[in-house]
Amino acid sequence: MKEIVAVDIGGTHARFAIAQVDQGRVVTLGEATTLKCADHASLQLAWEAFARVVNRPLPKAAGIAVACPIKGDILKLTNNPWVIQPAWLPVKLGVDELILVNDFGAVAHAVAQVGVDSLQHICGPDIPLPEQGVTTVVGPGTGLGSAYIVRRKNGYFVCETEGGHIDFSPLDQLEDRILTVLRRRYRRVSVERVVSGPGLLNLYEAIAEMGELSVKARDDKALWTMALEGSDPVAAAALERFCLSLGTVAGDLALAQGGSAVVIAGGLGLRLAKHLPNSGFAERFVAKGRFEGMMSEMPVKLITYPQPGLLGAAAAFAEAYRQD
């Protein structure tokens, strides 16, 4: 049994917890401490602040999830002033063992290790995730995260992808018109321009423009609240289109990755937990022509674990340093 620090660093907050790992699995994940990144000038200072919160020496090992690609000598986070130099982290943090993982890669690690009680059924057969093969993980949030898990008898591995940047593909006349509107705004319309937190605003404004409706500019948070409550008809229509497009892209990625199951994750996942099963998501997910029968046999789940980034950071460490 090894004790480690699990860290999940986003644009606004950094979350810390003490975890115990053993034989490639997370055994326990302690209570999370959430710190505002703007209140600390660096990861090292936030790390030291966490040590003061728990009032004990920190373990000499860490799994750290970071909201940016893990490439190069310097990691620069979006909407976060921290600059992280991976080569210097062992010295600055006082750790002997360390792994860095992309934030959505960490979510995929969490999916691989949570129990069935943390996976809400959305559509398809209500069966557990397969013990072998590929599980596609898709997560709408600030952007659209995409990864997949390959399970084998002796464990699993996670592949991070940029699947959120594939082209938006309209499937009906209304979406043709939405694409036309968005092409005036963006040189290239990726699916992330539609299926993400800001994507709902793109849909909202495009639908309003097509209907020559006058709407006030709104921030993403307020718009999402209106859409989920159904208090604004244009926002509600945008949310339905969002769910349709999420079903389309989730199915496309599962086909492209050879998936036999899909898990919806991301910052918006839990907000969609009640809405998604009653939307057009399932219809679009299976609408793959000659492969419709195969798609209908795939279970689609939604991860409900409250801190998947932290769990996944610890799980990534456990898998990388497994000794069984």
Local structure of residue 190 (DSSP, 8 states) = B
Least Cα distance to 63 among 319, 316, 321, 306 occurs for: 316
In single-letter form, the type of residue at position 76 comes to K
226 neighbors 259 (Cβ within 8 angstroms): no
Q: What residues form the annotated binding site for ATP? A: 7-12
Q: What residues form the annotated binding site? A: 7-12
E strands in the chain: 2-9, 13-22, 25-29, 33-36, 61-66, 75-76, 83-84, 97-102, 119-123, 133-140, 144-152, 155-161, 259-264, 300-303
**Dihedral, CA of residue 140, residue 145, residue 151 and residue 157, to nearest 10:** -150
